[in-house]
């Protein structure tokens, strides 16, 4: 048996404590279209490989959420960046969001409201 891959999303303007609570409650993560250097009109769930990193002080962990999922990520992405898009096994698109089922493993941003 192999260990499940851990993914993370850092606290941000869109990844707030309220969103983290909803993710824990629903065991789903949603994502809209990318609006950065990978601009697209296609909704995508965005995350990064592995557990939340340490801050620059190397003592404090970044704020965010860690999860696993059975949904296979998209292929051919830059190292460390993970996306789930398109309607396929484990990924659905509705209401202009891509959605995946997850198991939340860790969250340290709930006290940030």
Residue 112 has pLDDT above 80, yes or no: no
The string of pLDDT tens digits covering residues 42-74 is 999 999 999 999 998 888 899 999 999 999 999
Q: How far apart, in whole angstroms, are the C-alpha atoms of residue 41 and residue 101?
A: 22
Under the banding of pLDDT at 50, 70 and 90, the label for residue 1 is very low
Domain range list for the chain: 7-112
Residue 3 has pLDDT above 50, yes or no: yes
The residue count of the chain comes to 113
Query: What confidence score (pLDDT) does residue 113 get?
Result: 56
Contacts of 79 (CB under 8 A, 6+ apart): none
Pinpoint the alpha helices (H) of the chain.
17-26
Q: Is-contact 8 51, C-beta < 8 A?
A: yes
Query: What confidence score (pLDDT) does residue 76 get?
Result: 87
Q: What is the pTM (predicted TM-score) of this model?
A: 0.89
Q: Is-contact 88 11, C-beta < 8 A?
A: no
Say what percent of the chain tops pLDDT 90. 71
How many other β-carbons are positioned within 10 Å of the β-carbon of residue 99? Answer: 20
* Token reading at 108: 């340290």
Q: Is-contact 57 3, C-beta < 8 A?
A: no
Q: Is-contact 108 15, C-beta < 8 A?
A: no
């Amino acid at each position: 048996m192999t260990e499940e891959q851990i993914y993370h999303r850092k606290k941000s303007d869109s990844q707030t404590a309220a969103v983290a609570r909803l993710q824990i409650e629903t065991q789903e993560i949603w994502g809209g279209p990318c609006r950065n250097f990978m601009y697209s009109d296609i909704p995508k769930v965005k995350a990064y490989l592995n557990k939340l990193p340490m801050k620059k002080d190397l003592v404090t962990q970044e704020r965010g959420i860690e999860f696993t999922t059975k949904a296979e990520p998209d292929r051919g992405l830059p190292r460390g960046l993970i996306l789930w898009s398109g309607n396929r096994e484990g990924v659905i698109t509705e209401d202009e969001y891509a959605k995946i089922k997850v198991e939340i493993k860790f969250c340290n941003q709930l006290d940030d409201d």
